[in-house]
Chain A
Amino acid sequence: MMGQLVQHYVLLSTVIFLIGAIGFLVRRNILVQLMSIELMLNAVNLALVAFNRQHQGNMNGHMFAFFVIAVAAAEAAVGLAILLAFYRLKASVNSDDADTLKH
Chain B
Amino acid sequence: MTFWFGLSPILVVGLGTLLLMLAEAFGKSPNSANPSDAGSGRSGELALGAAVVLLVGAAFSIGVWMVGPENLEGLEATRPYLVMDRFTVFFCFVLSLGGAFAALLAGGYLPEHDIDRSEFFPLLLLSTVGAMTLVAAGDMLSLFVALETMSLGVYCMVGLRRSPRAAEAALKYFLLGSFAAALLLFGAVLLYGATAHTDLVGIGQAIKTIGQPGSTVPVAPVLLGLTLTLVGLTFKISAVPFHMWTPDAYEGAPTPATSFMAVAVKAAAFAILLRVLVVAFGDDRLTSWGTGWPPALATLALLSMTVANVVAGRQSSVKRMLAYSSIAHAGYALVGVVATMRSADGQASVLFYLLTYTVSTVGAFGALIYCGSRGAEATSYEDLAGIAKRHPAAALAFSLFLLSLAGLPPTAGFFGKLYVFRAAFDAELYVLAVVGLLNSLVGAYYYLRVMVFMYMREPAPGAQPAVPMKSAFVSSALVLAAVLVFALGIAPGWSLDMAGAAKIVVSAK
What is the interface of chain A, defined by CB distance below 8 A to chain B?
Answer: 10, 17, 20-21, 24, 30, 33, 37, 40-41, 43-44, 47-48, 51, 54-55, 60-61, 63-64, 67-68, 71, 74-75, 78-79, 81-83, 85-86, 89-90, 95, 98-101, 103
Residues of A within 8 A of B190 (CB): 47
Asked whether A67 lies within 8 Å of B144 as measured between CB atoms, the reply is yes
Taken together as a complex, chains A and B put the C-alpha atoms of A95 and B178 apart, in Å, by 15
Asked whether B168 lies within 8 Å of A55 as measured between CB atoms, the reply is no
Asked whether B171 lies within 8 Å of A86 as measured between CB atoms, the reply is yes
Given contacts A43-B186, A89-B164, contact A103 B315 (CB under 8 A): yes
Interface check B185, CB cutoff 8 A: yes
Q: Mark B150-168, 1 if CB is under 8 A from A, else 0.
A: 0010011001001111011
What is the interface of chain B, defined by CB distance below 8 A to chain A?
Answer: 140-141, 144-145, 148, 152, 155-156, 159, 162-165, 167-172, 174-175, 178-179, 181-183, 185-186, 189-190, 192-193, 196-198, 247-248, 251-252, 311, 314-317, 320
Instruction: With CB as the reference atom, state the residue of chain B lying closest to A64.
Output: B141
Residues of A within 8 A of B198 (CB): 60-61, 64
Min Cβ gap B325→A in Å is: 14
Taken together as a complex, chains A and B put the C-alpha atoms of A100 and B247 apart, in Å, by 12
Q: Can you list the 9 inter-chain pairs with the closest CB atoms, starting with the nearest?
A: A55-B196, A40-B182, A51-B193, A101-B248, A98-B168, A86-B167, A89-B164, A85-B167, A47-B189
Given contacts A54-B193, A103-B315, contact A67 B145 (CB under 8 A): yes
Asked whether A63 lies within 8 Å of B141 as measured between CB atoms, the reply is yes
Seed contacts A64-B141, A85-B167; 13 additional CB < 8 Å A-B pairs: A37-B182, A54-B196, A55-B193, A64-B140, A75-B148, A82-B171, A85-B162, A85-B170, A86-B168, A95-B175, A98-B171, A101-B172, A103-B247
Asked whether B182 lies within 8 Å of A44 as measured between CB atoms, the reply is yes
23 A-B contact pairs sorted by A residue (CB < 8 Å): A30-B171, A37-B182, A41-B182, A51-B192, A51-B193, A54-B193, A54-B196, A60-B197, A63-B141, A67-B145, A68-B185, A74-B148, A78-B155, A79-B174, A82-B159, A85-B167, A95-B171, A100-B165, A101-B168, A103-B247, A103-B311, A103-B314, A103-B320
Residues of A within 8 A of B171 (CB): 30, 82-83, 86, 95, 98
Taken together as a complex, chains A and B put the C-alpha atoms of A24 and B180 apart, in Å, by 11
Taken together as a complex, chains A and B put the C-alpha atoms of A41 and B183 apart, in Å, by 9
Of B179, B197, B251, B314, which contacts A101 at CB under 8 A? B251
Residues of B within 8 A of A63 (CB): 141
Asked whether B152 lies within 8 Å of A75 as measured between CB atoms, the reply is yes
Instruction: With CB as the reference atom, state the residue of chain B lying closest to A55.
Output: B196
Min Cβ gap A98→B in Å is: 4
Asked whether B252 lies within 8 Å of A101 as measured between CB atoms, the reply is yes
Residues of B within 8 A of A86 (CB): 167-168, 170-171
Of B170, B181, B189, B248, which contacts A82 at CB under 8 A? B170
Asked whether A20 lies within 8 Å of B182 as measured between CB atoms, the reply is yes
Residues of A within 8 A of B141 (CB): 60, 63-64, 67
Min Cβ gap B177→A in Å is: 9
Taken together as a complex, chains A and B put the C-alpha atoms of A42 and B172 apart, in Å, by 22
Asked whether B152 lies within 8 Å of A74 as measured between CB atoms, the reply is yes
Of B170, B179, B192, B317, which contacts A37 at CB under 8 A? B179
Instruction: With CB as the reference atom, state the residue of chain B lying closest to A88.
Output: B167
Instruction: With CB as the reference atom, state the residue of chain A lying closest to B198.
Output: A60
Taken together as a complex, chains A and B put the C-alpha atoms of A44 and B159 apart, in Å, by 28
Asked whether B144 lies within 8 Å of A47 as measured between CB atoms, the reply is no
Residues of A within 8 A of B196 (CB): 54-55
Min Cβ gap A19→B in Å is: 12
Of A24, A68, A81, A103, which contacts B179 at CB under 8 A? A24
Residues of A within 8 A of B175 (CB): 24, 30, 33, 37, 79, 95
Instruction: With CB as the reference atom, state the residue of chain A lying closest to B192.
Output: A51
Taken together as a complex, chains A and B put the C-alpha atoms of A41 and B148 apart, in Å, by 13
Asked whether B163 lies within 8 Å of A89 as measured between CB atoms, the reply is yes
Taken together as a complex, chains A and B put the C-alpha atoms of A99 and B163 apart, in Å, by 13
Given contacts A51-B192, A54-B193, A85-B159, contact A100 B168 (CB under 8 A): yes
Taken together as a complex, chains A and B put the C-alpha atoms of A76 and B256 apart, in Å, by 25
Asked whether A47 lies within 8 Å of B193 as measured between CB atoms, the reply is yes
Among B144, B182, B192, B193, residue most surrounded by chain A Cβ atoms (within 10 Å): B182
Taken together as a complex, chains A and B put the C-alpha atoms of A101 and B252 apart, in Å, by 7
Instruction: With CB as the reference atom, state the residue of chain A lying closest to B182.
Output: A40
Min Cβ gap B446→A in Å is: 13
Residues of B within 8 A of A100 (CB): 164-165, 168
Asked whether B155 lies within 8 Å of A51 as measured between CB atoms, the reply is no
Min Cβ gap A96→B in Å is: 11
Instruction: With CB as the reference atom, state the residue of chain B lying closest to A89.
Output: B164
